Amino acid sequence: MTSVSGRPCSRVSCRSAATMTLTYIYAESRAVLGPIAMFSEPHAYDLCERHAARLTVPNGWTVERELRESQGQGPSEDDLMAIADAVREVARSHQEQPATKSSAPASQVGRRGHLRAVPS
């Protein structure tokens, strides 16, 4: 069984599947970020993992992040893709700075592009 709604992230340029639902409570200047809602509600926006993590709210607003109550279903493929993207971004940012953990610089492994068919 799956509870994935199939709804996309509400950010215009984003093609990721939504994993969280952001609900604005205007009367209390609160934004509540929680597990994706089963039903689309007014003032609710579906967000993917990355956009949920980068959520910003207007000045004076507070953000509440609700934790998933059940962790039984494990990460979905989209979650793994988001994690892979995040790791890639971290790796890229680390490359821009001098390495601190390892003393030896990462060696560039060249691709072998010389494979060719040898006529017999």
What amino acid occupies position 55? Answer: L
Q: In the complex, what is the shortest distance from the CB of residue 106 to Zn ion, in angstroms, rounded to a whole number?
A: 31
Min CB(20)–Zn ion separation in Å: 10
| Residue 51 and residue 11 in contact, taking contact as beta carbons nearer than 8 Å | yes
Nearer of residues 9 and 33 to Zn ion, judged by Cβ: 9
List of residues contacting Zn ion (CB under 5 A): 9, 11, 14, 16, 48, 51
CB–CB of 73/2 below 8 Å? yes
Nearer to Zn ion, 25 or 53 (CB): 53
Residue 13 Cβ vs Zn ion, minimum distance, rounded to whole Å: 8
Helix (H) or strand (E) holding 52: helix 49-53
Minimal distance, residue 85 CB to Zn ion, in Å: 11
Q: What DSSP letter does each residue of 77-119 carry, written as one string?
A: HHHHHHHHHHHHHHHHHHHTS--SS-SSPPPP--------PPP
Given the complex with Zn ion, which of 7 and 30 has the nearer CB atom? 7
Quick one: 34 or 72, whose CB is closer to Zn ion?
34
